[in-house]
Structure 1
């Protein structure tokens, strides 16, 4: 149980931090935007594709407030709306070129503000401050501090790694033939050729700067349905919860795009992956035997309503 003296110390730090960072000021870094408005612009600039509903959830803001702010942003030319190519009922938000300029200006001012407040510190003291900030974030959010974990959208060079890892891991671990590697190559090629950034994405998991996992979320043939593909986790990274985080990232992205359900196909032999799917709420809806990868195995189809 937290003591009164600890409560006092936390409140004292909060007062210091809000004053030190200028959080009580009416504008953000002397701009025309409040802190909350700046956060909305930041999310729009860094989320790729996002809906108004997702913005409310991420920032824990009142939908009415967000709606009013977005209308103002549209009026002054910072934001545009676009219907999803995958589902015309879904409206996604994007920054206009003018909005991107504003976001870039705020980012520069943020960096300048941090430099003005902490730039006088020597490298040892600055490192200590950054480490303590990371510790506060990790402890209060329940993150594991032992390893640096990152899940990010794919970038140039990742697709070659995804293909290689699928070929090596499934051949060495399960004896699957070159047919599986060929299928992986086709999935990657189709993704790259038909990629719709509005409602599709591939995510890469990193552990201490090294790629260790992947997952793709793409449009399915069924309306309002997304499909998970190429979910992979390097054995050396298992047990850290990265697999669950990758699947959660795909589900969150699908929810932001307002898909109605997610479907995926896997095999019974992949017990760890099946466990993650089931833990995330997926339900087995179909199974059948096949020899697609050289060995008799049982294929499983899972679905999740979102």
Structure 2
């Protein structure tokens, strides 16, 4: 799985190049990117002081002061009060500045319209929302705001898309780390379909770990697939992006409390050798290795393991 931080960095570098921020001038003007942004923000807000532009643009005072002096000299903006000090009095665009802003807006709209023509219409809203969210996150970081922390929720039962989403989480991990493919994906999807079709039966349940609208983990208990009194722990997975944050432990705790509350004398699971983090969770919860055999159940030759946990006395 590609590191999302590296993906964001690569996309940011490409956007900076495509937007022209590496060139000395921007948007078809004779001005630097920071000067163009000053014109745009002044036009959007009506008037701003130099101090306010420092905050909006995220530049130091001396850089903004020099830039404003050049824009005032070029006739793009002027103090609202004649003779006032531009550093402390509100500035507004002149008639020339409004013409420059109109040209910048037209240039930018052409650029964005041409780019979005390469996007499927269904993706446009996603791109808009994602860019706006990331822009706000960058600003919050610059201003030193505390990062927003979404509360993890554990939900039970079926929800639209749960079969495909949990299967996708499995494939994102197992395809990369163990080389599993179509056979494994089909077995996981079949297991999930089997469990969710019997959620109305006592002793069968599925848990979903949610961060906002994102599913970041899941586990299921199947109370019917094995012999009476034996629970089958199935399709346990945690998104790699939140591993190590206690998500797996919370899911496993919920599932095992369910097993104990429903009177199962034993809970069993099947996995493969090499998943050390998961095995640590299992053993800490009371599971013990029962058997190991070489097999191809998941589509390639692996050491397959069976673990069991008796109900606590």
Higher RCO, Cα 8 Å, sep 6+: 1
TM-score, normalised relative to structure 1: 0.50
Query: Which one has the largest radius of gyration?
Result: 2
